[in-house]
């Protein structure tokens, strides 16, 4: 499979998302940024290390980092639904680590999931665009 012209590529983890559009053919993909999102809720040092906080008023344990990630994914899923509904893309490739791909998939509206043509189970949010192009192309070629 090749990354066709006009295909959107969503690269996401729990704190950052980038939506690209391939503006060339599948032989030599050229991803152009459509949208970039970052989770404004930066977890404190304890949450980043996986330490759970206890809410003083209730004594209940909460994982604010996880709930921030879910809100972030919810918001992104809504944006993708609106874009799909407006006909901004016909094909979508999801790129996320194994811990995030299932969460993302479960949050997407049917109108978006119907347009998903491939999934790449890798965390690429920290990679430069040229590496994302290369890795996604290689993964799709092997599919």
Task: Classify 40 as helix, strand or coil.
Answer: coil
For residue range 64-118, list pLDDT tens digits in order: 556 767 788 899 999 999 999 999 999 999 999 988 888 899 999 999 999 999 9
Question: CB pairs under 8 A, 24+ apart, for 130-138?
Answer: 132/9, 132/11, 132/20, 132/31, 132/95, 133/29, 133/30, 133/31, 136/3, 136/9, 136/29, 136/93, 136/95, 137/2, 137/3, 137/26, 137/29
Task: Classify 78 as helix, strand or coil.
Answer: helix
Q: Are 81 and 53 in contact (CB under 8 A)?
A: no
* Phi then psi dihedrals of residue 120, to 5 deg: -120, 115
Q: Cα 6 from chain centroid?
A: 18
Confidence category of residue 46, pLDDT binned at 50, 70, 90? very low
d(CA 132, CA 30): 10
CA-closest candidate to residue 86, choices 107, 111, 118, 108:
111
**Superfamily designation of domain 8-142:** eRF1 domain 2 (3.30.420.60)
pLDDT averaged over the chain? 84
Regarding pTM above 0.85, the answer is: no
- pLDDT number for residue 107: 93
d(CA 7, CA 121): 18
**Domain boundaries, given as residue ranges, for the chain:** 8-142
């Amino acid at each position: 499979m090749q990354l066709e012209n006009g295909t959107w590529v969503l690269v996401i983890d729990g704190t950052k998302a980038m939506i690209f559009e391939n503006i060339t053919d599948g032989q030599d993909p050229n991803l152009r940024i459509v949208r970039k999102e970052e989770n404004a809720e930066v977890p404190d040092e304890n949450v980043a290390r996986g330490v759970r906080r206890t809410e003083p008023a209730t004594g209940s344990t909460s994982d604010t980092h996880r709930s921030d990630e879910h809100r972030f994914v919810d918001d992104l899923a809504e944006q993708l639904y609106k874009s799909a509904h407006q006909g901004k893309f016909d094909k979508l490739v999801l790129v996320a680590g194994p811990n995030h791909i299932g969460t993302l998939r479960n949050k997407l509206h049917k109108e978006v999931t119907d347009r998903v043509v491939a999934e790449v189970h890798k965390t690429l949010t920290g990679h430069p665009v040229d590496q994302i192009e290369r890795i996604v192309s290689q993964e799709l070629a092997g599919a």
